[in-house]
Structure 1
Amino acid sequence: MSTTILGSVRKRLVTPATTEISFETRGFEALSAEAKARLEMSALQFLVGFEFAIEHSGHDEIVTRLGTLEREYQGFAFEGAAMALALRDAMSPAAGNRLTETFLAGPGFDDGPGSRHIFMAYLGVGFALARLPRALWRRALPDPGKLADHPTLSWLIMDGYGFHEAFFHHPKWVDRHFVGRGYPYPGNPAYTQRAIDQGIGRGMWFVCGGDVERLLTRIKGFAPNRHPDLLSGAGLAASYAGGVGADDLEALLRGAGEYRPEVAQGAVFALRAREVSGLITEHNEMAAQIFCGMTADEAAQIAAKCVIDLPEDDGAVPAYEVFRQRIQQHFR
């Protein structure tokens, strides 16, 4: 066992209580009992992954424990584990980065040219940033240059930040449409809010409990220029986490109107994340057919092709946004 006294102390000090993620505590209203159960289980598995990584020091033990969880929810657990390791990196006096050097690059997480859990790991880092003073952000951020996958995906970190704020502070970020300022993130400052909005859209899928009508109504309350990114995030969450049936997914696509390509692009991201980690489910296949008109594997391959030969310099339009636009173009 790699549990130490220090690990037990870390777990007690920083691990959120299970009640903190319940729909009742958060004030979320679910579409149905099934949607509530599925979405709450996703959040619970995130917390389980966080507990594994905040308490245990051995890479192999974290890998083994995460692998025992129910397949459908393993991605959320990896996301939680990445959050925990980012927090440990930020708070540790020692040099080095556990997330980059062991968790993502270590044995058990490689899949040929890239990490199988890079999508979820970046989102988990965003959760960590939301819980840290901004002065510590630099210590929590992984070095994309040391990872086998495409560094452009690091914008998912700010997506994760947006999800955290929507999930845990929805009266401010969702109901009052709050816009933050001055983020010490090493990327194009003008694009930061857009990436955060993509995460807020994902979070709103949980805030609205999979209720598409409520979700669309709330999105319409935001400034119109924020709608595309919010709907892209909603499409990602609806495809990855699910909790609803085909009729609800079809209603989301219809309600997106001119932003159907953004919903499809969010679905492609979700399906690529599921495909590279070997976690495709029946719900993911249904989402792929409805949002993209193809199988989950075919949708995932769109992302694999569109990420090739992206510009190295972000410039005025970040490479990440070029990536997203290429995918959206498939559905226009």
Structure 2
Amino acid sequence: MTATLLGSLRKRLTTPDTSEIRFTTRGFDTASAPARAKLEHSALQFLLGYEFGIEQRGHEALVTRLEGLEREYQGFAYEGAAMALTIRDVLRPTGGNRLVETFLAGPDFTSGPGSRHIFMAYIGVGFALARLPRALWRRALPDARALADHPALNWLIMDGYGFHMAFFDHRTWVEGQHVGGPYPWPGPADYTRRVVDQGVGRGMWFTHGGDVERLLTTIEGFPPERRADLVSGAALAVTYAGGVEADQLEAFAKGTSAYRAEVGQGAVFALRARAVADLVTPHHEAAARLFCRRDAHAAAELAAAGVVDLRDEGRTPAYEVFRQRVMRHFA
């Protein structure tokens, strides 16, 4: 038995019921949407990962359970586990090594058992922030300098926050086009809202069940200055989570042709996350060819090259410098 009595109690008190991630419960109009079943299953894997993370005593037992899930969906499970570990960190009465940091960085701060899914783990931390009082955010944030990838990627935490809000409160954030903030986040307020919008765009792929036409119509209803970031996030989700056939990928590419660079950038981030985790499928290859004009691993390498000598440039955060480096390949 690797789950303790305390772990079982944490699970009972904090784990959402399975019904909470059902699209009908959330009120998504996806009855005939092409990707509904796949995306709903992805959300279920996230919830399983959360359950494992909230109750397991150690990382070894946690990873054993995560690796027992369906390979294609393991990124979502690791995302859920990172959310759980972050909440556990906040609840810990004492200091010491943070659970989410050691999960990602290991005891020697080079690579931990969850480092292959560091992109998704950052997003999971953002999910945790969405469930925590803002006064506790600073306590919940891992030290990005100690983790296995570039510190600038910690902006994906706010992307995860935006996804959570779009998914769990879509009437406010998607239909109501809510602008959040200010946030207790160590970055420029205006740019923080932009990254949150990228997460909202990613969440909209789920709230629309992969219905490309409805998704694009919804994005066009947002103010023009927000659309590029929404498209970037949506492209990441289309590529990473998928759930649709080639004709729908082509429809998305055609409908977002004005945002060619943002689509390529979102796809590259998704493909990098898949490649690092060794979870590339034929869908990802098809998306890479269509959105990036290269195979999945070559597209993923654009992200690897983009973090070399990465730093802030004046008032532009390093994360945005990273995005712009990738977008130049598709401009």
TM-score, normalization: structure 2?
0.96
Instruction: Pick closer, same or farther for the CA change 1:32–1:244 going to 2, 3 Å.
Output: farther
Report if the CA contact (8 A) 2:34-2:210 is conserved: no
TM-aligned CA deviation for residue 310 of structure 1: 1.0
What is aligned with 1:35? 35
Instruction: Pick closer, same or farther for the CA change 1:98–1:39 going to 2, 3 Å.
Output: same
Q: Distance in 2 between matches of 1:278 and 1:148?
A: 16
TM-aligned CA deviation for residue 33 of structure 1: 6.5
What is aligned with 2:93? 93
The reply to whether residue 320 of structure 1 matches residue 319 of structure 2 is yes
Q: Distance in 2 between matches of 1:57 and 1:315?
A: 44
Q: Identity of paired residues, percent?
A: 66
What is aligned with 1:13? 13
Q: Deviations over 1:171-205 (max 9, x none)?
A: 00000110112210112222100000000000000
What is aligned with 1:213? 213
Report if the CA contact (8 A) 1:188-1:314 is conserved: no
Q: Distance in 2 between matches of 1:98 and 1:148?
A: 15
Q: Which secondary structure does the structure 1 equivalent of 2:183 belong to?
A: coil
What is aligned with 2:290? 290
Q: Deviations over 1:8-54 (max 9, x none)?
A: 11001110111000111011233757511100110000000000010
Report if the CA contact (8 A) 1:275-1:297 is conserved: yes
Any unmatched runs of 5+ in structure 2? none
Q: Distance in 1 between matches of 2:175 and 2:198?
A: 16
Q: Distance in 2 between matches of 1:168 and 1:314?
A: 35
TM-aligned CA deviation for residue 257 of structure 1: 2.5
What is aligned with 1:61? 61
What is aligned with 1:251? 251
Q: Which secondary structure does the structure 2 equivalent of 1:116 belong to?
A: helix
Q: Deviations over 1:299-328 (max 9, x none)?
A: 0011111111112x4641111001001111
Instruction: Pick closer, same or farther for the CA change 1:330–1:200 going to 2, 3 Å.
Output: same
Residue type matched to 1:170 in 2?
H
Q: Distance in 2 between matches of 1:193 and 1:41?
A: 29
Residue type matched to 1:98 in 2?
L
Q: Which secondary structure does the structure 2 equivalent of 1:117 belong to?
A: helix
Residue type matched to 1:324 in 2?
R
Residue type matched to 1:149 in 2?
D
What is aligned with 2:3? 3
Report if the CA contact (8 A) 1:31-1:210 is conserved: no
The reply to whether residue 330 of structure 1 matches residue 304 of structure 2 is no
What is aligned with 1:145? 145
TM-aligned CA deviation for residue 264 of structure 1: 1.1
Q: Distance in 1 between matches of 2:190 and 2:229?
A: 14
Instruction: Pick closer, same or farther for the CA change 1:88–1:314 going to 2, 3 Å.
Output: farther
Q: Distance in 1 between matches of 2:233 and 2:315?
A: 22
Q: Which secondary structure does the structure 1 equivalent of 2:132 belong to?
A: coil
Residue type matched to 2:100 in 1?
L
- 1:1-332 superposed matches below 5 A: 1-30=1-30, 32=32, 35-96=35-96, 97-100=98-101, 102-106=102-106, 115-311=115-311, 313=312, 315-332=314-331
Residue type matched to 2:123 in 1?
L
Q: Distance in 2 between matches of 1:245 and 1:144?
A: 37
Q: Deviations over 1:108-136 (max 9, x none)?
A: x9769x93111001000000000000011
TM-aligned CA deviation for residue 84 of structure 1: 0.2
Report if the CA contact (8 A) 2:34-2:209 is conserved: no
Residue type matched to 1:57 in 2?
R
